[in-house]
Structure 1
């Protein structure tokens, strides 16, 4: 893998479905998997086989459907979870260990239990899977010296990747960068994955910060779907990497609109109209000053070319509109009016929008011309 390219691991079908009230059927999971595959995602965390035979059957179907991505199962550090995963035919396993004291106490375990489980679990996994990722659950709140010992031992026994999980989203971009600089200093060249949660609204920023500090992989979900405030958003992370960090994650950006809308519909979680990248308002403009500049250059008041993301720049009309944007719009429809008429229409449009407390569509603007 090219050093600068962030490897995207989508966990919508696992961590995304853990969002309260979200349940995907087999056909829905296949539909989401197909869209992720089409968008170019190279690895999917496809589920938790220990949930039972139905989940195993669904994962089995995904694994043997001929998709291009690698399929990874998630499980706890137990033989039972790995045996369940083995039944699915998935070639990859993510084994999760609690590495913070608070997570260990919550399940009546301690650091010694964690350390004593690594060797047998790695040996058990190595006999059954081609690729072993180890999840350091709640790594962001773990004792640094213990985290170092844990990672060192996992690497000694053959871990292919270590997931650094910000399980309750307490990191910020600066502390995330510090953490990954520390990791890369002590474990140079190793494949670390960042798994960010959005409890404080920083999951996307933290994921990008991790990548900029040398993290090579990131697990994300479509629309940030997940428990509590959700996870880092696939669409936001790849867009931020492309536009802000000038790094291509290998994802087809023009496929994101359909992908996000489909997941929103199937999860019954409406996309906020102002949500970055895929919200309906993201490329819509009313301000007269903005519209006049956008007519000349679409990047004047937009971070990216909407066409790159399968979108179009939209100019709408209302209280804040000016004559420049309106005149351009009318001309694009073959309607030419005098400067005096334009001034009059803009004045009446502002008054009408103020009274209606909303923007106006094309037909409503045309009515003002009569």
Structure 2
């Protein structure tokens, strides 16, 4: 088997992924994700829905098909259908679709106990549905549902149904490990058997992650001869989820040398889109797309990177449109501090570098989170400088109530000038932001966009605990976080915002140690 052969990825985020508990995409979200997958990420195929579901679902599917037809990729959009002769086919055709993924029973037990039919009766239903679909000018792929258990428990059944499909001119025969029960060795042997027995059929493998083996199983399926792997963005899927698109892409390229059409530089952006639409947070340590996966924590690693990239691998962050960062905490060394100072455009003497490092370790011992954006405030505290406090909130009054708009009145110092302003909005933080906007607009300061707002209290804390707020900002080129702490969660957000504003103004000065305007910590 040639190592450079093409492997297709079929993304089923919008169908199988939407079966995740608590996930329901709107029609507009489905269209956006579909376009991102096909046009930006360049996934080979997508599965977008099940036939015969809600009116809103059909509306989304129709819009996706219309867009795909206009962009010459209609045959890359697929819909799950059932062995119901005309019903699924008519639904798909009326939605403008071209490809039917026909769900059949891949195990004798399912056929007998769920359908209450014999294999011959089921094959007759399959052939009748396929014939009707072809009469409507549709392409047909076939799922052998629960194939993994069927292959183990009733192999002759699997062979007979596959032989019937071999005579039906289907495009793909799709082998699901529906309950995620197979081991990599079992996948290699069983998929290899299917590929060698039926060389004229193109087999897909559809893994689930119940044993945490989905990526390894996908790798083994390709080694055994599978031509396509079914994936989802961010491992969405019921129970333990499906296999990660990002993981499969890098494993097939880096470990097996396979050829993929996928544009890896767009993986992270699409992951964030799906995270926002689904409401399901991506684990910080999730390979390729997690927030922490390109962050070095050990000072030894940062030192090694400074001395010739000693701790780098094929999984370079630039490959995915991301960049390295170096954590600040009790494991940090001077190299970690230097890397972060460099990113912020700051220079310190060796003596002050050591002071900063000692303070970072001291803070980390309290289990407080330290971000690179905290560095100027730590430095300011050490150097006893107030210059970095370009913007200072002198007083602030916020009024909120039930079914009335919130208002904020503020008095701030910007440089050497004092301003009073007020604003209203949807909640106290929004009112404060609008009041600050009226101060900042006349001086030409445009803050970055707020991308994420996270509030938390210490574990085991009570209602009067301190609140910690992390805000993620996006300036169009990069994103960064600032942190604020206060007993009131609105003011925790305000403190995080003030840190962002001072950081933005500091970056505009581009000064060095002897002239850096440094902020005083809270």
Q: Residue in 2 aligned with 1:132?
A: 140
Say whether 1:266 aligns with 2:277.
yes
Q: Residue in 1 aligned with 2:125?
A: 117
CA change 1:368–1:177 in 2 (3 A) is farther
Q: Deviations over 1:202-240 (max 9, x none)?
A: 222211221122111112111111111111111221122
Measured after TM superposition, the shift of residue 48 of structure 1 is 1.5
Say whether 1:78 aligns with 2:80.
no
Higher relative contact order (CA 8 A, sep 6+): 1
Measured after TM superposition, the shift of residue 298 of structure 1 is 4.8
Structure with more of its chain in helix, by fraction: 1
Measured after TM superposition, the shift of residue 193 of structure 1 is 0.6
CA change 1:110–1:301 in 2 (3 A) is farther
Tell which deviates more after alignment, 3-12 or 218-227: 3-12
Uncovered stretches (5+) of structure 2, i.e. residues with no partner: 384-522
Measured after TM superposition, the shift of residue 323 of structure 1 is 2.0
CA change 1:182–1:360 in 2 (3 A) is same
Tell which deviates more after alignment, 310-319 or 170-179: 170-179
- Kept after mapping to 1: 8 A contact 2:4/2:258: no
CA change 1:68–1:302 in 2 (3 A) is farther
Measured after TM superposition, the shift of residue 16 of structure 1 is 1.4
Q: Residue in 2 aligned with 1:160?
A: 171
Q: Deviations over 1:59-103 (max 9, x none)?
A: 121111124532211111112222211212211111111121343
| Alignment of structure 1 residues 1-370 onto 2, 5 Å | 4-37=5-38, 38-65=40-67, 66-69=70-73, 70-79=76-85, 80-104=87-111, 105-142=113-150, 143-298=154-309, 300-330=311-341, 333-338=345-350, 340-361=351-372, 362-367=375-380, 369-370=382-383
Q: Secondary structure at the match of 1:96?
A: strand
Count of matched residue positions in the alignment of Structure 1 and Structure 2 = 368
Q: Deviations over 1:274-328 (max 9, x none)?
A: 1111110111112111111123455725451101101100012110011233234
CA change 1:290–1:19 in 2 (3 A) is same
Q: Secondary structure at the match of 2:89?
A: helix
CA change 1:135–1:290 in 2 (3 A) is same
Distance 1:198 1:155 in 2: 29
Q: Deviations over 1:2-57 (max 9, x none)?
A: 97221111111111122232221221111111111221112211212211444333
Distance 2:236 2:15 in 1: 10
CA change 1:214–1:330 in 2 (3 A) is same
Distance 2:339 2:328 in 1: 12
Q: Deviations over 1:174-220 (max 9, x none)?
A: 21111121112111253111111111222222112211221111121
Uncovered stretches (5+) of structure 1, i.e. residues with no partner: none
Q: Secondary structure at the match of 2:57?
A: helix
Tell which deviates more after alignment, 135-144 or 94-103: 94-103
Measured after TM superposition, the shift of residue 168 of structure 1 is 0.7
Q: Secondary structure at the match of 1:45?
A: strand
Q: Secondary structure at the match of 1:273?
A: coil
Normalization by structure 2: what TM-score? Answer: 0.66
Tell which deviates more after alignment, 110-119 or 206-215: 110-119
Measured after TM superposition, the shift of residue 364 of structure 1 is 4.4
CA change 1:236–1:357 in 2 (3 A) is same
